Structure 1
Amino acid sequence: MLPLSLQACHRHAAHGQESKDDKQRFRQAAMQRLTPAERLVAAMAAEGLPYKSIARELGKSPATVRNQLHAIYEKLDVGNRTALAHKLRGQP
């Protein structure tokens, strides 16, 4: 017999459900892989801001922001901003 917490996880997984806590832990784990500067760029990009706006807001060049964003994609194993936004929201 599985412990109650594992039973709940199994039920959620079987029904495609995740709790708010699960999503929060998933989001935190993703963000911990990033440097503080990358976290800021990732959050702004996930909100839909273009490179130039992020660069202007952070006092960086658009090329630096683009490079950081590509490093973020690699670290989080995503291919674009939409996937990044889903990952940061705790969605698979």
Structure 2
Amino acid sequence: MFTERCGLIIWVNDLKATKNLERYGTVHYTSKKMQYVVMYVHAEVLDETVRNLQKLPYVKNVERSYRTEIKTEYSSNPSDKAKLYSQ
């Protein structure tokens, strides 16, 4: 139902040209102070999109977001910590 998406952080020289990035994916956030754009693209065309973005004259660097690889399920076991400190 939902397509797999990956996040990209794109460092740019000129924020005026970031409107053109919408043709490559969904622009989520634009930082005016640090001049970067966070956008999401489909995972199937990630490599091709990164290559195309790096060719653009106003793009300094393209970084892949590793948010999908970070563990988001947490468990809280305070009893285990209590055993460590009660000796």
Q: TM-score, normalised by structure 2?
A: 0.29
Higher strand fraction: Structure 1 or Structure 2? 2
